[in-house]
Structures are given as structure tokens and as C-alpha cells.
Structure 1
Amino acid sequence: MSSAVDWQTAVRRAGGLARPGPTGTPAELRALVQVLRRAAAEAPEHVAEITGLTRAAQQVADVPVYVVDRPRWSQANVEMFARLTDGLLPTSPLPGSGRVAGEEMGFVLAILSTKVLGQYDPFGDEPRGRLLLVAPNVLKIERELNLDAMDFRLWVCLHEQTHAVQFAAAPWLPEHLAGRMRRLVGGVSATPDGSARLARAVRGVLDAATAALGGTPQEKPDDLGGPLVDAFLDERERADLAEIVAVMSLLEGHADVVMDEVGPGRLPSVRHIRAAFEKRRDGTSTGDVLLRRILGMDAKVAQYRNGARFVRAVVDEVGHAGLNAVWTSPETLPTAAEVSDPAAWVRRVHG
């Protein structure tokens, strides 16, 4: 029997394939690390001022901050996947299948490692999670978009530290999310039609490639993911995933709103950064469209935007204090339907 995924193979492949990213002088790179660490330490105070989550923001001071390169980001995510799926993935009777799965995971992570600026991981051994800031990607984007480096680095940290504050405000949330994810993975793993699902995945990738090369429109904003997700999940599983996506949309949208509400007095170029960043998110070259379709990255962009619309609508109605009810319990999280209908959430939670 072969394990479902050879995690070490995934780490090696991701590290070997990832491009190192932009370079700088030793002094420039030391300054980058120092500024990112300072920005990460400063950000929670701004999050507290905007959201009113003062106690949670104070707790974030204990969150360890790791400024990493692309291979180390991939390794951290392999570790996270391994923890979340521990005991759930079936063994395979085919020799070497785990290594092949590891190679595939490593390939995907190598691509994603060039695009992620930062990530808050609440699922590790650290009591308050850990914050990863991917230094070469921050440097790459601020150079490509000609952004004010000090402003941009704080802006990135505001997003990620908002996530840390969210989980500090809702200490039950990591277990809740992990449980739902494990339940979904466990259900998929237990089904007998793995071969058929794999065949559908291959067809989905080919269909996505054909559509991208033909220049057809991108997925609708309410799509849950790319063809890989569509192929592997049945209707019930997609409904379960929709509820997980609703929570992720809340988390991402809330962080997007907070990072933009820090005013020009502290981040003079915040509006320029947002405009430039949104334009980059909307990249429509053939390569961008193909990659986003296959990996479901269009859905990731939709998470930010749908979640931000929900948060802004709720804040307009009941303020940040009213929105903070979402961190009370699993029952006060928005459902998939409520993310698209913020007024329904306000009626249910606030009456």
C-alpha cells in the first residue's frame, strides 16, 4: 500500500520548482525583513481602532511572525495540509501513487508560492497561530506596481493581522473550520468512485484549457472553485463546501475592508495601492486566465469581493460593533446565502 500523498516529495518539488524571486543588496533585504516585522507589530493597533476588537488585537502580540521565502511558504502549507488531513486520506494499492500525488501538490504549490504575499495559519502548534510573510513576493509586487514600499508593507500586514485578530476574537474558529474541512475531506475519501472522479478532473482541466485559449468569459463570481473542485465534489459535498467558502469569504472580505479603512493620514498612498492591486487581480492574459480557471483562483478573487460587500453592507447597517457578532459562535457566522444577502444576516442575528 502507498500513502495517499508523499508530503516530503511535495516539499522537495515545490522548493525545486519555485523561482527565487527578485533580488536586492544584503542591506535592502535586511531592511525588507525589518520593515515587515515592524509593520506586523504595528498593524494590530490599527485593526483594533477600526473594528473595536481591542482585546483580541492585544492578544495578537503573541503571534509569531516568520518572514519567509517561497520554498519555506510551500513547506508550511504542506505541513498544514498534512495536519488537516491526518488519518483521512486513504492508502492506494498502486506503488508510487503517493509520490505522484506529492509531485502534483508540489507543482501547484510552486506556482502559488510566487503569488501569495502573506498568510495567517491558525492550525499549527502555536497557541495563537503563526503569520507568514513572503518577502520576495512583497518586493516583486511593490516594484512592479511602483508602490510606496513602507505603505505597501504595512498594508499587507494589516490584511494578515486582521486574520490573526479574527481568530483571537473567535478562539473556537480554528477547530470549527478544521472540523468542517476534515468532514468534507473524509466524506470524499470514503466514496468508492475515486477513479471516476479523477477522470472527471482530467476532463475538467482540458475543458478549462480549451475555454481559456478560446477567450470565453471567466467563471461566474459564485463559482466555488475551478474544474478540479467541480470534478471531485458531488452536489451534497459542494453544499458543504459552500458553507466553508462563506466563512472564508467573511474572513477575507473583512480583512480587505479593514486594510482599506486605515486612512491616508497613516497610509498616504492607500487608495493608489488598492487601485493598482485590483487591476493586478483582474489580469486577463491567456496565461492568467488558464491558471486561474484550473486552480480556482477566480473563486478566490470572488471571495474577497463578495465578503467585502457583505462586511460593508453590515457595517453600514449596524456598525463594526454589530458586525462583531459574527465572532460570537458558529451560529452567528453568515451562511452561504447570507453572504449574498447581508440584510438577511442582520435580521437573523440582530432582529
Structure 2
Amino acid sequence: MNIYRSVRAVTNASGTGIVDWGAVAEAAKASTPPGELTLSDAERTGYKTDVQDARERLQTVGEVEFDLPDTIEIQNRHHWIDANIETFERVMHPIEEKGGGVFPGVARVANTGTMAFMLSFLGKNVLGQYDPLLLAEADDADHGLYFVHPNIRRVADSLDVDYPRFRRWIAFHEVSHAAEFGAAPWLSTYLEQRMEEGVEALSEGSLDRKAFRELDTAMTSVEGYAELLMDRAFDDDYEDLRRKLDARRRGGGPMAMLVRRLLGLGLKRRQYERGAEFFHAVADARGVATASKVWEHPDNLPTDDELDAPERWVRRVA
């Protein structure tokens, strides 16, 4: 880790955009140890088996058909940062097109530093990721499934939990997202449209509340349904893993807590909880197959009001 190189990359940010993405990548990686990525044969087999078992179990429990992404990678932290730079750049593009304001050089340095800090923090903490490659230019862009191996090992050790079991739990969670996007071919486009509308409005200096509200309810459904499938498909009870991981997320020093708040990670946790309550209520009343109807058509997504009144969604959809 080289903090000096990281700061130098930010302060030397250049180009015509409001973010120097090359400098973001350099600065984020300079301030983030890559982590060990030497895998034993047993670990490689373990990852492969975990993903395959997760697909089979989730298909059975959710009564949904889906394929795994062609791109499945076991990464170190630098690999994860590189994979996500392109996503952040695509999302920011509408805002970048509007220019850098009165002091473009100053804005570029500040924005580059902010993005580098955010990717560095996430790169040190992300365990796994299902990446639908939103806003990718290629129409046939494949989705991706990533496991950040150094973080998985470190967190398993810090929580004092069995590493293979923890790794398998992460695999089941990320593959559950592959189940959702596989069962709903329209979902990527739906999220992209709301994201584009919201970011475009921000670039014009306004706030498209409808687009962001629809994006939030859709992501709440994505996270909540994944929790339902995890509960029904994982090998055993994992309340101990969830409890310890939640305690870890709430812990840390004041700086870590501030960063989580600024990055909206508390909101993401609320999406998990609210979405899980909704889908568990539906599944308990009508079965998992009924809950899976959410992916048959965009109109089947719950509204914000229905998320707190699942019986209304059941009457409308099921």
C-alpha cells in the first residue's frame, strides 16, 4: 500500500472529464493492499462446487430456471477495483458530459479523490458480487460473478467462523442474484432505464423522485428475494453467520461508520430487511413459487406501499 502514490495520482488528475478514471484506478489500488490470491486445489474445487450446488438448490427451491454467468472470477482486491471502474464510469457518463463547472481542474481532483476513496473502501470490504454489467455498451455483454478471496478469508478469520462454510454462504447469496436476473431477462433493462433517468435528471440539476423510488423498490425486491432463497436453499441455519456479520458492519471506528453512512450501506441493509420481510410473508402464505412470480413481468414488482402490505401484492399478482 502506497498512500503517497495514491495522493499523487489524485492531485495529478487530468483530462477533460470531471473524473480522471485512470487516476481513480491508480489511486484506489495504491491505497488498497491487493491481498493473497494463491489458492490450493481444494479451494478451487470448493468455489466451483459451492457455485454449482447453489445453482441446483436455488433452481429447485425457487422453481426458476437460470444459467450461471460465463464470467466467474476469484479475484483479489485490485481485480475487483478494475472490474468496477468501468461500471462507475458508465453510470457517471451523463454527468461528465455536462462539464466541470467554473473550476474544472479543482472539481476533477475532488471528484477523482472521492471516487478513489470509495472504491478503495469497498474493495477492502466486498466479499462477493453478482455484476449485471448495467449500462454496458455491448448488447450481448455477459453478466459477471466475482468472489474477492482475500476479503472472504480475512472476514471468516475475524468472525471466527468456519471458512469453507462461510465461503459457501457467500456463493449461495451471489448465485441467488444470478437466479433473479436469469429468471427476469427484462430486469437489467428496467434498472438501467431508471438509473439513466435518475442520473440524467441529476446532471440537469434536478431530482427525478419517481425514477429513484422505482429503482429503490426494484433493488429492495432483488435483495429481499435473494434472502428468501438463501433461507430456503442453504444447507443449514446461518443465523450465526448473519449475526456476526451484522455486528461487524455496525462496528469499526467513527471513520468506518461515517464512510458506510456516506456510501448508503445502511440503506442497503434496510433493503435486505424490508425486502426479506415482504417475500417471507408471501412465501409463508402462498409458497416460494408465488413469490417467484415477481420476475415474470415488470408490472409484478411490488410498489413501495405493497412492500409493507404483502397481502395486497398477493391479491394483485397471484
- Normalised TM-score (structure 2): 0.85
What's the offset of the Cα at 1:239?
4.2
One of 220, 226, 229 as aligned partner of 1:249: 220
How do 1:226-245 residues align onto structure 2 when only pairs under 5 Å count?
234=207, 237-245=208-216
Q: 124-133 or 242-251: which moved more?
A: 124-133
1:114 counterpart SS class: helix
Distance 1:3 1:35, change over 3 A: same
Q: What's the CA shift string for 1:121-158, capped at 9, x where partnerless?
A: 11255644011111111111111112122211111011
CA RMSD between the two structures: 2.3
1:223 matched to which residue of 2? none
The alignment-based identity, stated in percent, is: 32
2:201 matched to which residue of 1? 187
**Contact 1:122-1:129 at 8 Å conserved across structures:** yes
1:329 matched to which residue of 2? 297
Query: How far, CA to CA, are the matches of 2:89 and 2:261 in structure 1?
Result: 25
One of 48, 51, 61 as aligned partner of 1:40: 51
Query: How far, CA to CA, are the matches of 1:336 and 1:78 in structure 2?
Result: 31
One of 145, 170, 194 as aligned partner of 2:159: 145
What's the offset of the Cα at 1:299?
0.8
One of 107, 126, 145 as aligned partner of 1:131: 145
Structure 2's unaligned 5+ residue stretches are: 1-14
**Contact 2:81-2:123 at 8 Å conserved across structures:** yes
2:124 counterpart SS class: coil
One of 118, 124, 129 as aligned partner of 1:114: 124
Q: 138-147 or 81-90: which moved more?
A: 81-90
Distance 1:310 1:63, change over 3 A: farther
One of 241, 244, 247 as aligned partner of 1:273: 241
Amino acid at match of 1:119: Q
**Contact 2:130-2:178 at 8 Å conserved across structures:** yes
**Contact 1:63-1:129 at 8 Å conserved across structures:** yes
Q: 97-106 or 294-303: which moved more?
A: 97-106
2:73 matched to which residue of 1? 66
2:5 matched to which residue of 1? none
Query: How far, CA to CA, are the matches of 1:27 and 1:44 in structure 2?
Result: 23
**Contact 2:228-2:276 at 8 Å conserved across structures:** yes
Amino acid at match of 1:63: D
What's the offset of the Cα at 1:189?
0.1
2:125 counterpart SS class: coil
**Contact 1:88-1:182 at 8 Å conserved across structures:** no
Query: How far, CA to CA, are the matches of 1:170 and 1:20 in structure 2?
Result: 35
One of 75, 80, 85 as aligned partner of 1:78: 85
